[in-house]
């Protein structure tokens, strides 16, 4: 049987041809599938050990795209740029980049998701923005026509994924999850890129996070993932660039939905934390250079000007209003938690490391994230960090503040043993480099 040959070929370390991969994925996706899960799992495991070359990986990714709908954004009058983060703690860059890029004339049509586990999703953050109508929410359930018309009108829209994009990836991911094959760089690269390619943007900027709060724990893994994703995108005709950025500590200081929206607004007000501003500007420059005929220096100048002039903030207000949100959110209309509790340093020292993933889990326990997809999110709760790696603290200084509404949730969060999440050193520690590399 050919399907057995395909599996045997991969087990022997050979590559599958384009038509073979296509048939394999098509057969697996049939209603009465010709390929049972155990055969597909054997193939995935063979990929896990042997990897895939550039052509095979692009063919595999394309086969996943072909399992579902492909958004047609050709009715948008300009180059559409998408931006994707592999996920990190306190990553609110999309909330800033959307209006900022729109303010300098770049079309941003962004399909976003909800969060699961230690990282929050952009849609959950947008849900924290109150609506102009008391009973409604910031509306991300846009039809394709509404989405396109908003992008044409004001150059930015963020929608929840309604179309059935790359269902083959969904089915394979569920199988990878139970067969120990999630942590394979080519499989991750194909999975992420299949959804991006199906979303229809002509240009894609990938923010590959690395460190204690990211999926990729080492720089070597992150660079390898970034290179593979860029190769897939480029091979399949999309302008693709990846920036590898630090996630050894939360980005900015705020973690939790409304707290993160507030910090994003501060950046748009030309204030806010330096690290968040820098990551936004670096990603923004890449997005702008993919969409327009500008040099990186020109792009950076224009973006900085849009922040200092108030143009980006105005665009944020216009965008929020256009999707049913209340623009007075920029003057402090966000939900706030009832209670706060601080965690203090027990000794003097320099901040050596932060267990960022655990900080993310702690925020989830407070109610800011989901353990299972059905969990309800409390938009107001979260954590404000007060320190960064390398900073000197004295005994009693506040390391972070927990914002909470329910004492039972505070107890559960504190069971994570919060003291151990920040390690102090007697010797001075360097800050981790924020931008580890740009891959194009
Ligand atoms: N995120 C994805 O979309 N796919 C993976 O395989 C891993 C993380």
Ligand 1 center to 171 CA (angstroms): 12
Q: What is the pLDDT of residues 127-136, one digit of tens each?
A: 999 998 877 7
Which segments of 133-184 does DSSP mark as H helices, in order?
144-154, 167-179
Ligand 1 center to 191 CA (angstroms): 5
- 255 and 222 in a single domain? The answer is yes
Answer whether 191 contacts ligand 1 (Cβ < 6 A): yes
Ligand 1 center to 215 CA (angstroms): 9
Strand-by-strand arrangement of the 422-425 sheet = 392-393, 349-354, 422-425
In angstroms, rounded to a whole number, what is the distance separating the alpha carbons of residues 186 and 52?
7
Residue 160 has pLDDT above 80, yes or no: yes
What is the model's pLDDT at position 137?
A: 81
Residue nearest to atom 8 of ligand 1 (CA): 188
- 378 and 351 in a single domain? The answer is yes
Ligand 1 center to 192 CA (angstroms): 5
Residues 293-321 as b or e (16 or more Cβ within 10 Å = b): eeeeeebbebbeebbeeebbbbbbbbbbe
- 158 and 273 in a single domain? The answer is yes
Asked whether the beta carbons of 433 and 246 are under 8 A apart, the reply is yes
- 142 and 274 in a single domain? The answer is yes
- 124 and 144 in a single domain? The answer is yes
Q: Which atom of ligand 1 is nearest to the CA of 192?
A: 3
Q: Which atom of ligand 1 is nearest to the CA of 215?
A: 8
DSSP label at residue 125: H
Question: How does the average pLDDT of the chain come out, rounded?
Answer: 94
- 170 and 319 in a single domain? The answer is yes
Residue 372 has pLDDT above 90, yes or no: no
Residues 369-407 as b or e (16 or more Cβ within 10 Å = b): bbeeeeeebbbbbbbbbbbbbeeebeeeeebbbbbbbee
Answer whether 192 contacts ligand 1 (Cβ < 6 A): yes
Q: How many domains does the chain have?
A: 3
What is the model's pLDDT at position 161?
A: 80
| Whether residue 33 lies in the annotated active site | no
| Mutate which of 172, 181, 184, 188 for ligand 1 pocket (most atoms within 8 A of beta carbon) | 188
Using DSSP's 3-state secondary structure scheme, residue 411 falls into helix
What is the model's pLDDT at position 391?
A: 97
Average pLDDT over residues 353-360: 96
**Two tokens, residue 30:** 């049939």
1 pLDDT band, cuts 50/70/90, is low
In angstroms, rounded to a whole number, what is the distance separating the alpha carbons of residues 158 and 145?
13
In angstroms, rounded to a whole number, what is the distance separating the alpha carbons of residues 293 and 121?
32
What is the model's pLDDT at position 2?
A: 62
Asked whether the beta carbons of 164 and 68 are under 8 A apart, the reply is yes
Q: Which atom of ligand 1 is nearest to the CA of 173?
A: 6
Q: Is 133 inside any structural domain?
A: yes
Residue 85 has pLDDT above 70, yes or no: yes
Q: What is the pLDDT of residues 69-80, one digit of tens each?
A: 999 999 999 999
Asked whether the beta carbons of 61 and 22 are under 8 A apart, the reply is no
Q: Which contiguous run of DSSP H or E holds residue 126?
A: helix 122-127
- 129 and 263 in a single domain? The answer is yes
Ligand 1 center to 83 CA (angstroms): 15
| Whether residue 407 lies in the annotated active site | no
Candidates 83, 84, 114, 239; catalytic one: 84
Average pLDDT over residues 383-402: 97
Residue nearest to atom 5 of ligand 1 (CA): 188
**Two tokens, residue 109:** 């049509």
DSSP sequence for 350-361: EEEEE-HHHHHH
Answer whether 185 contacts ligand 1 (Cβ < 6 A): no
- Percent with pLDDT over 90 in the chain: 88
Q: What is the pLDDT of residues 295-327, one digit of tens each?
A: 999 999 999 999 999 999 999 999 999 999 999
Neighbours of 237 (CB within 10 A): 9
419 pLDDT band, cuts 50/70/90, is confident
- 359 and 258 in a single domain? The answer is no
Stated length of the chain: 440
**Which CATH number does the domain housing residue 25 bear?**
1.20.970.10
| Whether residue 84 lies in the annotated active site | yes
- 88 and 23 in a single domain? The answer is no
Q: Which contiguous run of DSSP H or E holds residue 316?
A: helix 311-322
What is the model's pLDDT at position 384?
A: 98
Asked whether the beta carbons of 367 and 405 are under 8 A apart, the reply is yes
Which segments of 51-121 does DSSP mark as H helices, in order?
54-65, 93-103
**Two tokens, residue 169:** 């990836």
Closest CA to 386 of 245, 211, 250, 243: 250
- 147 and 192 in a single domain? The answer is yes
Residue 398 has pLDDT above 80, yes or no: yes
Residue nearest to atom 2 of ligand 1 (CA): 192
For residue 395, give its domain range. 339-425
In angstroms, rounded to a whole number, what is the distance separating the alpha carbons of residues 299 and 410?
44
**Which CATH number does the domain housing residue 421 bear?**
3.90.1170.30
Q: Is 99 inside any structural domain?
A: yes
Pairing label, strands 239-246, 349-354: unpaired
Answer whether 188 contacts ligand 1 (Cβ < 6 A): yes
- 257 and 149 in a single domain? The answer is yes
Q: Is 64 inside any structural domain?
A: no
Ligand 1 center to 178 CA (angstroms): 14
Candidates 195, 209, 317, 436; catalytic one: 195
What is the model's pLDDT at position 151?
A: 96
Listed range (58-62, 82-86, 372-376) with the worst mean pLDDT: 372-376
Q: Is 74 inside any structural domain?
A: no
Residue with tokens 């991300």: 140
Beta-bridge partners for 366: none
- 246 and 350 in a single domain? The answer is no
Q: Is 103 inside any structural domain?
A: yes
| Whether residue 191 lies in the annotated active site | yes
- Percent with pLDDT over 70 in the chain: 99
DSSP label at residue 245: E
**Which CATH number does the domain housing residue 238 bear?**
3.40.1030.10
Residue nearest to atom 1 of ligand 1 (CA): 192
Q: Is 238 inside any structural domain?
A: yes
What is the model's pLDDT at position 190?
A: 97
113's CB contacts (< 8 A; 6+ apart) are 121, 122, 123, 160, 161
Inter-axis angle of helices 311-322 and 296-309, nearest 10: 70
DSSP sequence for 12-45: TTPPPPHHHHHHHHHHHHSTT-SS-HHHHHHHHH
ipTM: 0.95
Residue 172 has pLDDT above 70, yes or no: yes
Q: Which atom of ligand 1 is nearest to the CA of 191?
A: 4
Q: Which atom of ligand 1 is nearest to the CA of 182?
A: 6
Average pLDDT over residues 194-223: 95
What is the model's pLDDT at position 115?
A: 77
Q: Which atom of ligand 1 is nearest to the CA of 188?
A: 6
Average pLDDT over residues 168-187: 94
What is the model's pLDDT at position 221?
A: 96
Backbone angles phi, psi at 102, to 5 degrees: -60, -35
Among the three residues 275, 307, 331, which one is the final residue of a domain in this structure? 331
| Whether residue 212 lies in the annotated active site | no
């Amino acid at each position: 049987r050919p399907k057995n040959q395909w599996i045997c070929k991969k087990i022997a370390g050979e590559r599958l041809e384009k038509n073979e991969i296509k048939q394999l994925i098509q057969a697996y996706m049939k209603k009465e599938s010709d390929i049972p899960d155990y055969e597909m799992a054997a193939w995935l495991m063979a990929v896990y050990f042997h990897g895939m070359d550039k052509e095979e990986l692009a063919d595999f990714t394309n086969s996943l795209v072909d399992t579902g709908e492909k958004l047609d954004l050709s009715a948008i009058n300009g180059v559409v740029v998408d931006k994707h983060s592999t996920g990190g703690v306190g990553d609110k860059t999309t909330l800033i980049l959307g209006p900022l890029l729109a303010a300098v004339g770049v079309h941003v049509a962004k399909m976003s998701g909800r969060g699961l586990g230690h990282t929050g999703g952009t849609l959950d953050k947008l849900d924290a923005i109150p609506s102009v109508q008391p009973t409604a929410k910031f509306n991300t359930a846009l039809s394709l026509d509404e989405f396109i018309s908003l992008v044409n009108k004001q150059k930015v829209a963020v929608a929840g994924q309604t179309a059935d994009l790359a269902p083959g990836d969904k089915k394979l991911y569920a199988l990878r999850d139970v067969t120990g094959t999630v942590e394979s760089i080519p499989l991750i690269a194909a999975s992420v890129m299949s959804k991006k390619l199906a979303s229809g943007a002509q240009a894609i900027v990938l923010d590959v996070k690395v460190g204690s709060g990211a999926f990729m724990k080492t720089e070597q893994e992150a660079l390898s993932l970034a290179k593979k994703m860029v190769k897939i995108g480029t091979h399949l005709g999309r302008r693709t660039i990846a920036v590898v950025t630090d996630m050894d500590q939360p980005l900015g200081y705020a973690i939790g939905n409304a707290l993160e929206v507030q910090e994003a607004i501060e950046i748009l007000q030309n204030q806010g934390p330096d690290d968040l501003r820098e990551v936004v500007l670096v990603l923004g420059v890449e997005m702008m250079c993919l969409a327009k005929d500008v040099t990186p220096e020109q792009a950076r100048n224009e973006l900085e000007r849009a922040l200092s002039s108030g143009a980006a903030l105005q665009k944020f207000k216009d965008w929020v209003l256009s999707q049913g949100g209340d623009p007075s959110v920029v003057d402090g209309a966000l939900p706030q938690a009832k209670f706060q509790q601080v965690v203090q340093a027990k000794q003097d020292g320099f901040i050596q490391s932060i267990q960022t993933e655990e900080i993310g889990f702690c925020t989830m326990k407070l109610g800011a994230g989901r353990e299972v997809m059905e969990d309800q999110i409390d938009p107001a709760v979260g954590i404000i960090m007060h320190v960064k790696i390398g900073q000197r603290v004295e005994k009693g200084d506040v390391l972070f503040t927990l914002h909470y509404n329910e004492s039972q949730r505070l107890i559960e969060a504190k069971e994570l043993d919060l003291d151990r999440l920040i390690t102090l050193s007697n010797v001075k520690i360097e800050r981790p480099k924020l931008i580890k590399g740009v891959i194009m």
